[in-house]
């Protein structure tokens, strides 16, 4: 029996703390050889639209996913989402179709959960001030997710549009102090933890603004090799940790453009988050280190979200067994 979950079904279904735990477990699986995460290949659509089929398998959970993400920048002019996605969940052994999920909510939540996992592993334990370059729904989700791992009490935020900042302020009202910044530089210089959440093609943040001790989550640029939010200086100054090296070297403009400009080397992007979590690769070593999680987004994160979401539906019942959902993921 196939479970079909649209955005209405998924809204509020998965808790943030349990998702962070599930995403952390997925990254550890990747480091320990219990998951497969190949680099995706783009499929050109019409005009500037691209499709990105993303795949992953969790041997621990016995699941495989295929996520198809569309990136259609021209949609913005028509007031439509630039990105849409659908996730297909399969039994990794039999190939049985288990579920089909609308990708909007899951993508937003798993992206912020990955940032939370990286922040917990890399940011200073006393980090309290969050900086957000970009103030849309992904920014709101990051506030909630990062507050699960750090005692954030203040956020400095900037967006190109005042209406977006007003909506952000309303969404997080009462959670923390919100300070509207005049630009990305002021956000960066004020932050202990910086999240860049814009669909930028050209850098909006300069590494010259990074203060000692800063942790950065570079999140917003779409998975295209000519898009980036942070310049080559920023990538060179930081200890860079990535979700997947193979994906970074195929799809990350932050990685590929900084390599092309001679500021970094391919091995700069060889430090995977799973290995840091497993203790086989160092992350932050000194309070003064600048750390940066370059988040392109991988299908294994979508698999982690889908596993929890399907378990919450209790359909089919056999999905909620210990074989499929071990203690750190099961409800």
CATH number of the CATH domain containing 74: 3.30.1780.10
Q: Does residue 176 form part of some domain?
A: yes
Q: Indicate whether 186 and 232 sit together in one domain.
A: yes
Q: Write phi, then psi, for 311 (nearest 5 degrees).
A: -60, -35
Q: Indicate whether 307 and 256 sit together in one domain.
A: no
> In whole angstroms, what is the distance from residue 118 CA to residue 123 CA?
8
Q: Does residue 328 form part of some domain?
A: no
CA 42 centroid distance within chain: 19
Q: Indicate whether 159 and 281 sit together in one domain.
A: yes
Residue written as tokens 């969050």? 130
Q: Does residue 242 form part of some domain?
A: yes
Q: Indicate whether 174 and 157 sit together in one domain.
A: yes
Q: Indicate whether 101 and 145 sit together in one domain.
A: no
Q: Does residue 309 form part of some domain?
A: yes
Q: Indicate whether 183 and 164 sit together in one domain.
A: yes
Contact 260, 226 (CB under 8 A): no
Q: Indicate whether 135 and 235 sit together in one domain.
A: yes
For 241, the domain range is 122-294
pTM for the predicted model, two decimal places: 0.91
Q: Indicate whether 187 and 210 sit together in one domain.
A: yes
| pLDDT tens, residue order, the chain (331 aa) | 789 999 999 999 999 999 999 999 999 999 999 999 998 887 777 877 888 899 999 999 999 999 998 877 778 787 877 778 899 999 999 999 999 999 999 999 999 999 999 999 999 999 999 999 999 999 999 999 999 999 999 999 999 999 999 999 999 999 999 999 999 999 999 999 999 999 889 999 999 999 999 999 999 888 889 999 999 999 999 999 999 999 999 999 999 999 999 999 999 999 999 999 999 999 999 999 999 999 999 999 999 999 999 998 865 454 443 334 434 433 3
Q: Indicate whether 148 and 28 sit together in one domain.
A: no
Q: Indicate whether 289 and 303 sit together in one domain.
A: no
């Amino acid at each position: 029996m196939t479970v079909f979950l649209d955005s209405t079904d998924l809204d509020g279904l998965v808790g943030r703390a349990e998702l962070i735990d599930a995403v952390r477990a997925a990254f550890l699986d990747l480091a320990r050889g219990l998951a497969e995460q190949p680099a995706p290949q783009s499929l050109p659509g019409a005009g500037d639209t691209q499709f990105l089929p993303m795949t992953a398998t969790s041997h621990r959970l016995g699941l495989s996913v295929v996520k198809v993400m569309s990136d259609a920048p021209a949609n913005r002019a028509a007031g439509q989402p630039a990105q849409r996605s659908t996730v297909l969940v399969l039994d990794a052994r039999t190939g049985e179709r288990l579920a089909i999920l609308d990708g909007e909510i899951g993508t937003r939540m798993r992206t912020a959960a990955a940032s939370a996992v990286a922040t917990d592993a890399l940011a200073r334990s006393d980090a309290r001030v969050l900086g957000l370059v970009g103030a849309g729904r992904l920014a709101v989700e990051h506030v909630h997710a990062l507050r699960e791992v750090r005692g954030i009490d203040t956020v400095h935020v900037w967006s190109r549009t005042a209406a977006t900042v007003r909506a952000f302020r309303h969404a997080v009202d009462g959670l923390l102090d919100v300070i509207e910044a005049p630009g990305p530089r002021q956000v960066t210089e004020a932050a202990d933890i910086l999240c860049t959440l814009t669909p930028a093609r050209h850098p909006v943040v300069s590494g010259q603004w990074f203060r000692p001790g800063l942790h950065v989550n570079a999140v917003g640029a779409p998975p295209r090799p000519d898009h980036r939010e942070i310049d080559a200086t920023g990538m060179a100054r930081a200890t860079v940790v990535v979700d997947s090296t193979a994906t970074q070297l195929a799809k990350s403009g932050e990685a590929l453009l900084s390599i092309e400009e001679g500021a970094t080397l391919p091995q700069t992007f060889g430090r995977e988050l799973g290995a840091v979590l497993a203790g086989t690769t160092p992350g932050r070593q000194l309070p003064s280190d600048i750390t940066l999680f370059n988040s392109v987004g991988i299908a294994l994160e979508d698999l982690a979200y889908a596993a929890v979401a399907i378990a919450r539906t209790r359909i089919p019942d056999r999905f909620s067994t210990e074989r499929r959902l071990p203690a750190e993921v099961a409800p």
